Structure 1
């Protein structure tokens, strides 16, 4: 899978002003892989962050293998407002990050873990790279999967997470639990069904957040169109695309049982797991 993730930030065309040295970002990546916190490389903008991520990513690939998917972040208004950005950003997902539904999830190795309701679509046809409309995207997708992501905002102590920093570190994916897929072909009207998708996120049986599909750039399929429109990379069949936050970020604590109940076109989807040390 080829990515030109330096392009995966919408910008005004402003030139990169303060891209950190490659060696600095490689050191940060290797430190993160070894359980360390991530430094502030002195970024001035999300464009700087995108440039920094282009240097950060190869070290992750050396350790974790080729990406199996893409995480698109900042796709909801609350997420954009929280991090002071006006457009999405993206980062690679790797196989060790994707966990099986129903199993315990160990927080070992995390530094500042959170959980949130998310949504994954799986690419079924490479023609997705020519998609111009939501209908084109639907034709190129294989399925929809419930997904609870556990990002790790692993910044150095005292460093405030900003849009630029989150972009520099690929929107900080760490782990995520994916549920059983609903094939696109099983949905009577995929466009309408995705827009009206709902999720109820619970901790120890109590609702902590709810969300709807239209929180994601107005429509989940528009997140895929945004990704496609960036160009310069491939999304081969089997690629997972994480579409963004359908809930608030919640601190992940050992001992909690997390459940996310989704409804998609009248069909239930669920993710559940227990957080352990």
Structure 2
């Protein structure tokens, strides 16, 4: 199609999400879509979500590993919005999605507002009220998960649904860089990682989020949920399968296809 705009891209991507229908990357039709414009698309999609009754509850980070960034041609992680419609209640199976993939996450719940610039990991951790284990299920609206960096940013970093585990731990005395996680698929351990997989320490991801939002005149708000980025590579969620993440101090979280 021709005549792409920020508003049109947001409408098309949200419609694809609602319909559970994959499409080709927008950059193939709109070569001028760059990272800055893609964030504007993301913000417009958030406006549409809020207009239909969703509530903003936090942010997520994506592309937190250096190999992922190199594949996408970016030099830092990307941010995306979380709304209450993305929360997967404790006992619910996954809704109908296009091609879901699950990844374990260390999740922060903020106790106070965190605003950049100049936020360090230590300062960021001081704003955290509690820490949970979680699983994010990503679901790109692009066919075969093939896209350029501006495509995934415009698509809210492949957001879908996420589940936060029931165990909440205060940050004091917890070394998150050593927090281990085992990823299980249908009873078999398929991967493992520690918190160091997220920029060396998840607090670095939180600080980066605050400082990146500050460039847009925004801040992380008290009570927000922050998904700090996948600890392992995302695994496909097949119909009837069970994915579990087991953390050293943060309990276990499961999702079912």
Q: Same fold (TM over 0.5)?
A: yes
More moved, 35-44 vs 197-206 = 35-44
- Which residue in the other structure is 2:93 paired with? 105
Deviation at 1:198, TM superposition (A): 1.1
The separation in 2 between residues aligned to 1:268 and 1:159, in whole angstroms, is 30
Q: Is the 8 A contact 2:79 2:157 kept in 1?
A: yes
The separation in 2 between residues aligned to 1:84 and 1:205, in whole angstroms, is 35
1:24 is aligned to 2:8: yes
- Normalising by the residue count of structure 1, what TM-score does the alignment of the two structures yield? 0.81
- Which residue in the other structure is 2:139 paired with? 152
Gaps of 5+ in 1: 1-18
Gaps of 5+ in 2: none
- Which residue in the other structure is 1:9 paired with? none
Q: Is the 8 A contact 2:163 2:253 kept in 1?
A: yes
The separation in 2 between residues aligned to 1:168 and 1:235, in whole angstroms, is 20
Q: Given the alignment, which residue of 188, 202, 207 partners 1:206?
A: 188
Q: Is the 8 A contact 2:202 2:228 kept in 1?
A: yes
- Normalising by the residue count of structure 2, what TM-score does the alignment of the two structures yield? 0.86
Change in CA separation of 1:34 and 1:228 when aligned onto 2, cut-off 3 Å: same
The separation in 1 between residues aligned to 2:145 and 2:162, in whole angstroms, is 24
Q: Secondary structure at the match of 1:183?
A: coil
Matches within 5 A, 1:1-277: 20-28=4-12, 29-41=14-26, 42-44=30-32, 45-101=34-90, 103-108=91-96, 110-126=97-113, 128-129=114-115, 132-155=119-142, 157=143, 160-184=146-170, 187-188=172-173, 190=174, 193-230=175-212, 231=214, 232-263=217-248, 267-275=249-257
The separation in 2 between residues aligned to 1:50 and 1:94, in whole angstroms, is 16
Q: Is the 8 A contact 1:197 1:212 kept in 2?
A: yes
Q: Is the 8 A contact 1:107 1:254 kept in 2?
A: no
Deviations 1:78-106 (A, max 9, x none): 332343322111111111211234x2423
Change in CA separation of 1:239 and 1:43 when aligned onto 2, cut-off 3 Å: farther
Q: Secondary structure at the match of 1:80?
A: helix
Deviation at 1:251, TM superposition (A): 1.1
- Aligned residues: CA RMSD: 2.2
